[in-house]
Structure 1
Amino acid sequence: MGPTTINDLPAHVLLVHIVVVFVPLAALLLVCSAVWPAARRRLGIITPVVALVALISVPLTTSAGSWLIRRVQMDPLVRAHAHLGDGLLPWAGGLFLLTAVVWALHHYRDRLARLRWLPVTTIVIAVLSVAVSVGSVVEVYRIGDSGAQAAWHDNFSANPVSTNHK
């Protein structure tokens, strides 16, 4: 689907940084936009654009991870990381969907103002935004932690291996 290597390195280990930055950033911007009108006005279209970058980066990263998993020693930690990674796309999709809804409700607020259900909808969307934002950040943390465990277990020494560092 996307690149498998970048500059002779597995693309997954580089692309994951986009996910680690943009998913939590999109979550933060979504919460600010959903619950704080001044932030919503200032951020405008930036919030859905950031969420779109996050959404696009997830399948690119998991695709590169699928390529990489066939080229590393399979163990339970790698398997757990891959399994967790496959679950991030719905969270990123939810972030994007909610950022688009929050933006649209604000952008078209004058046309929607006469609808009686708008205040309730705004509250429900704010609650959903907080829930999806927290869930997506927790998932990114869990996936990142499992990836670090898979990559680094038994790959370093607690004691220095050399005293000749220049």
Structure 2
Amino acid sequence: MSVELLHYTRGKHVENIHRGDAVCVSSDGKILGSLGNAHLPMFWRSAAKPFQLLQFVKMGGVEKYNLTQAELAILASSHSGESIHVETVTSILHKLGLTPDILNCGAARPMSGKAFKELVRQNLKPSALHNPCSGKHSGIIALCQLLEIPIDYCEPHTCDFNHELGEQNSQRI
């Protein structure tokens, strides 16, 4: 069973209690310590992004494409679709000599409510640049270019953020 890991307070009052499970293992897989259920199945999902980027970094991709720390950070993380995130992913693609059309992650409503309201105010639709995974997808494309292999990194139906969320959520876009 998950254990209490953090009490988030506001003043003297506990506002949120965060629960979780954690395990520390040796390189041979032996459990060294744990909190909660050390054998609970888990899915990497976005936690894998820094590891997916590792080979690109080790092969000199950051230097080859002259990426900034902010650009490297967005390749290794999810984002909320704010203008700074969209601009950062656009900058990466520009350095690769590409346009946002290359992104095969699907359009997604920004996770930031403020960013979504700004799109609505400007009568604009969300794009793949607003997808929280557009940085990771840009990193996959960058690695493909670095390795000089085709950029056909996934089929739209297998990596579309809205597909993962289900049809009811994609209707909100």
> TM-score w.r.t. structure 2 length?
0.28
**Structure with greater Cα Rg:** 1
> TM-score w.r.t. structure 1 length?
0.29
Q: Larger % of strand: which? A: 2
Q: Larger % of helix: which? A: 1
